Amino acid sequence: MEFKREIWMNKLILKKHNGLIKVITGIRRCGKSYLLFTLFKAHLLSEGVPEDHIIEMSFDSFENKRFRDPEVLYPYIKSLITDSGMYYILFDEVQLLGEFEAVLNGLLRMGNVDVYVTGSNAKFLSKDIITEFRGRGDELHIGPLRFCEFMENYGGNRYDAWNEYMLYGGLPPVVLLPTVEQKIELLKVLLDKTYISDIVGRHKVRNRSELEELLNILSSGIGSLTNPRKLSATFKSVKQVNISPNTVSNYLEYLSDAFLISAVHRYDIRGRKYIDTPLKYYFTDIGLRNARINFRQLEETHTMENIIYNELCSRGYNVDVGIVQLNTRDNNGKSVRKQLEIDFVCNKGTERYYIQSAFAMPTAEKTEQEQRSLLRISDNFKKIIVTKDAPAPWYTEEGVLVMSIYDFLLNKDSIVP
Average the pLDDT over each of 65-74, 158-167, 267-276, 310-319 and give the range with the smallest value: 267-276
Report the SS3 class of residue 335: strand
Q: Residue range 345-371: average pLDDT?
A: 94
pLDDT higher than threshold 80 for residue 48:
yes
pLDDT higher than threshold 60 for residue 49:
yes
CA distance 344 to 320: 6
Position 14 scores a pLDDT of: 97
Q: Residue range 235-242: average pLDDT?
A: 87
The identity of residue 233, as a single letter, is: A
- Distant-in-sequence, close-in-space partners of 14: CB < 8 Å, separation ≥ 6: none
Percent of the chain exceeding pLDDT 90 equals: 78
Closest CA relative to residue 171, chosen from 189, 159, 196: 189
Q: Residue range 90-114: average pLDDT?
A: 90
Q: Residue range 255-284: average pLDDT?
A: 93
193 compared with 332, residue with greater pLDDT: 193
Q: Give the H/E segment covering residue 201.
A: helix 197-203
Position 105 scores a pLDDT of: 87
Strands 351-357, 318-329: pairing kind? unpaired
pLDDT higher than threshold 80 for residue 181:
yes
pLDDT 10s digits, 122-180? 566 566 666 667 678 898 999 999 999 999 999 899 999 999 999 999 999 999 999 99
pLDDT higher than threshold 60 for residue 27:
yes
Position 396 scores a pLDDT of: 95
pLDDT 10s digits, 291-340? 999 998 888 999 999 999 999 999 999 999 999 988 777 777 777 788 89
Confidence of residue 270 (pLDDT cuts 50, 70, 90): confident
Average the pLDDT over each of 243-252, 308-317, 389-398 and give the range with the smallest value: 389-398
Q: Residue range 206-218: average pLDDT?
A: 95
Tell the burial category of 201 from Cβ atoms under 10 Å away from its Cβ (0-12, 13-18, 19+): exposed
CA distance 12 to 299: 35
Alpha-carbon Rg for the chain in angstroms: 23
pLDDT higher than threshold 80 for residue 120:
no
Report the SS3 class of residue 374: helix
Residue ranges of domains in the chain: 6-141
Average the pLDDT over each of 133-147, 216-230, 275-289, 365-379 and give the range with the smallest value: 133-147
Distance of CA 81 to the CA centre of its chain: 36
Position 52 scores a pLDDT of: 97
CA distance 77 to 79: 5
Mean per-residue pLDDT of the chain: 92
Closest CA relative to residue 136, chosen from 160, 113, 162, 170: 113
The DSSP output letter for 195 is I
Position 134 scores a pLDDT of: 67
CATH superfamily of 6-141: P-loop containing nucleotide triphosphate hydrolases (3.40.50.300)
Distance of CA 152 to the CA centre of its chain: 20
Answer yes or no: pTM beyond 0.85: yes
CA distance 213 to 241: 10
Torsion of CA 88, 90, 96, 100, to 10 degrees: 30
Position 5 scores a pLDDT of: 96
